[in-house]
């Protein structure tokens, strides 16, 4: 039986690369998006062209009701959920803390952190063996910003990712006996549109010489790590955070 994977924020970047790669590995794929419907439709079309069973779902994941409805859609479409990739998130324009309004900080935490907790809650309900399910895997997308702090750029974003790291460790212990594994990926400097949205399209090129491998990473390199953690090859790994950062 094909496993079902939900990837949040799958309309571009790392999420889109993961969705396309998951389809090639035999998953049924749920492509979540919020604003970028065109991108989600492009990913869906590519998957359909490869014969993959795919659905697209729109939801603002900072809204509890919309998260619940997203998972109800998966219940109707597939009747199961095997893997959740909590990838959705935002990075707002670079600035120092002294200039940050509370509304910006709140947006970062609601979209990057609250959404991960809400989606994970709904996934656990559909994976836990104590509820009659078969278990599953949750993979949270953190960031090297959680370690480096992103001073002068977006320390509020970095703080949201530090919270994701802590949440990953705690949830992994909470659901280990439910046959649910919970891990995280910390991408480093990756060529995605995230940097342009934060106001610096060429940020990866500016900083790549700080990386021991002397280059930025590609979304597909992160996707391979995500899907490895989701696979049975990582069956004894939970509560771990894997850096995909070129050594930085």
Catalytic residue list: 157
- 233 three-class SS: helix
CA dihedral angle for residue 179, residue 79, residue 90, residue 228, rounded to 10 degrees? 50
Token digits of residue 142: 């953190």
Contacts of residue 232, defined as CB under 8 A and 6 or more positions apart, other chains included, come to none
Q: Which residues contact 168 (CB under 8 A, 6 or more apart)?
A: 140, 142, 182, 183, 184, 239, 241
What separation, in Å, do the N-terminal and C-terminal C-alpha atoms of the chain show? 39
CA dihedral over 13, 19, 24, 25, signed as positive or negative: positive
DSSP H or E stretch at residue 89: none
Separation of alpha carbons 9 and 156, rounded Å:
20
Contact predicate 54/45, CB 8 Å: no
Nearest-Å Rg of the Cα atoms of the chain is: 17
């Amino acid at each position: 039986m094909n496993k079902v994977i939900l990837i949040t924020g799958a309309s571009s970047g790392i999420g889109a690369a993961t969705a396309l790669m998951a389809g090639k590995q035999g998953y049924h794929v749920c492509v979540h998006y919020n604003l970028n419907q065109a991108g989600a439709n492009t990913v869906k079309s590519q998957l359909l062209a490869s014969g993959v069973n795919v659905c697209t779902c729109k939801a603002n994941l900072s809204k509890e009701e919309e998260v619940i409805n997203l998972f109800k859609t998966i219940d109707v479409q597939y009747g199961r959920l095997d893997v959740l990739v909590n990838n959705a998130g935002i990075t707002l324009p670079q600035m120092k803390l002294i200039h940050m309004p509370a509304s910006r900080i709140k947006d970062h935490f609601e979209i990057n952190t609250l959404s991960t907790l809400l989606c994970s809650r709904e996934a656990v309900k559909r994976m836990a063996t104590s509820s009659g399910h078969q278990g599953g895997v949750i993979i949270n997308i953190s960031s090297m910003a959680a370690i480096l702090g992103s001073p002068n750029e977006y320390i509020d974003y970095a703080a949201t990712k530090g919270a994701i790291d802590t949440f990953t460790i705690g949830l992994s212990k909470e659901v280990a006996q439910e046959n649910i594994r919970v891990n995280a990926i910390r991408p480093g400097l990756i060529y995605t549109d995230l940097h342009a949205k934060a106001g610096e399209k060429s940020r990866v090129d500016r900083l790549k010489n700080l990386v021991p491998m002397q280059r930025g990473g590609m979304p597909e390199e992160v996707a391979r790590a995500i899907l490895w953690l989701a696979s049975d090859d990582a069956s004894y790994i939970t509560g771990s955070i894997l850096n995909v950062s070129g050594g930085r």
